[in-house]
Structure formats: C-alpha cells, structure tokens
C-alpha cells in the first residue's frame, strides 16, 4: 500500500512538540533590513527550480537555548542536513541526490547540505483535492494523489504547491531504505515529522 506524507521539520515555532533550533540569517552581515529581505527573497524560496547562482550567506542558530537537530528547517521549501552526517549515511545521500540539487551552506564552523528538491511533478487529481477555497481551487489543504503518476523519487513536490514537501512510502517495498521516510526512521534522525495526507486505500486523510 502506498501512503503519501507531508514532510516538515519540527523547530521552536511548533507548539506541543519537542522544539529544536532553526536556521536564521545572520543579521550582522546585512547593512539594512531591506538588504536582508531582498537576499532572502532571491535565495531562500525553494520552488522546485535549480539555484544557478547560489551564494550562501552567514547563518545563525535560533534560539540557541534549544537542542540542535540532525535535519534543519531551511526557510521555504527546503531542509538541510549536516554534510558529515550524509557522508555516514550513503543511502540518504543517494535519496537526496535523486530528489534534487544539493547546495553547501557553511554553518557553525562546519557545513550543512541543503536539499533543493527539483522532483516537482503534477501527480494530483485536482477534482478530488481539497482546497482552502474550493470555489477558486486556491490553497491546497489536502491533496489527492494519483498513484500511477507519483515520481520514482520518494521525496518530491507538486507544482500546485511548490514550497510543500512530500514523501511517499510503499508498505510492500522489499528495499525500504531506498525510501526517504524509512531511511530517516532507521537512522533516528531528529526533527523530521511525517504527517499522512493520502493513501491508496483511504484517499485523502484528514
């Protein structure tokens, strides 16, 4: 059975959950707030397209009082993993490479690898999908996926909501570690949260 999950990183902004640090732009490197906002608008929106002029700015953890995660929430539509951790888990690196573009980000004297997911596939049934505004089909709240249209990559996006991240899982798989969710759970990577949103037996999961 195939199930699709919404993928999120749990950080200090989540209520009723174990909070972790999140990444924030280091305000000290920008002369003005306008400069900081312009940088973020250009570099920190990940909508399923390659970053051809990647220019990483200094980042800072926030808040410092919280625990450091294995997987970091990285602004809109991306997440980051310690590069040294990826080197220890080849299966995870292969999954992320298959899903998109890996970008280096210096951080805390080490390096993070940002996963910019380029596997952006139209694989939903828009008639059966639930929307925040159903009259104009705007703001997807619960996508209805088409199993036969799902990409080979188990980590993906959809063009109708390009900053949302999804992962599919096949319960009958004979090699589950090739799937993102199973790999994360096997290695007990912290901060990643999977919420089921669709299955081939239930359809939309509310």
- The overall average pLDDT reported for the chain is 90
Angle at 201 between CA 198 and CA 202, to 5 degrees: 50
Q: Where are the domains of the chain?
A: 18-117, 130-204
Tokens for 5, please give them. 């999950």
Which parts of the chain have pLDDT scores under 70?
11-18, 133-138
Distance in angstroms (rounded) separating the CA atoms of residues 18 and 109 = 25
* pLDDT of 138: 64
**pLDDT tens per residue, range 98-112:** 999 999 999 999 999
Residue 129's nearest CA partner among 203, 47, 48, 196 is 203
Q: Which residues pair with 79 in a beta bridge?
A: 73, 115
pLDDT score of 139: 80
DSSP conformation class of 57 = P
């Amino acid at each position: 059975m195939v199930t699709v999950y919404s993928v999120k990183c749990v950080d200090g902004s989540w209520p009723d959950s174990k909070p972790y640090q999140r990444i924030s732009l280091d305000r000290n490197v920008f002369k003005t707030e306008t400069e900081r906002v312009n940088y973020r608008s250009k570099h920190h929106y990940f909508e399923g397209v390659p970053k051809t002029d990647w220019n990483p700015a200094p980042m800072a953890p926030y808040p410092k009082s919280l625990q450091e995660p294995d997987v970091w929430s990285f602004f809109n539509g991306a997440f980051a993993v310690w590069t040294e951790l990826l080197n220890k888990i080849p299966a995870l690196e292969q999954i992320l490479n298959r899903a998109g573009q890996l970008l280096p980000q210096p951080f805390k004297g080490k390096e993070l690898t940002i996963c910019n997911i380029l596997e952006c596939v139209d694989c939903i049934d828009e008639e059966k999908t639930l929307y925040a505004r159903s009259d104009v089909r705007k703001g997807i709240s619960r996508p209805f996926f088409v199993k036969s249209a799902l990409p080979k990559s188990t980590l993906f996006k959809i063009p109708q909501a390009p900053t949302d991240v999804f992962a599919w899982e096949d319960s009958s798989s004979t090699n589950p570690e090739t799937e993102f969710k199973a790999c994360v759970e096997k290695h007990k990577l912290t901060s990643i949260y999977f919420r089921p949103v669709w299955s081939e037996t239930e359809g939309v999961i509310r």
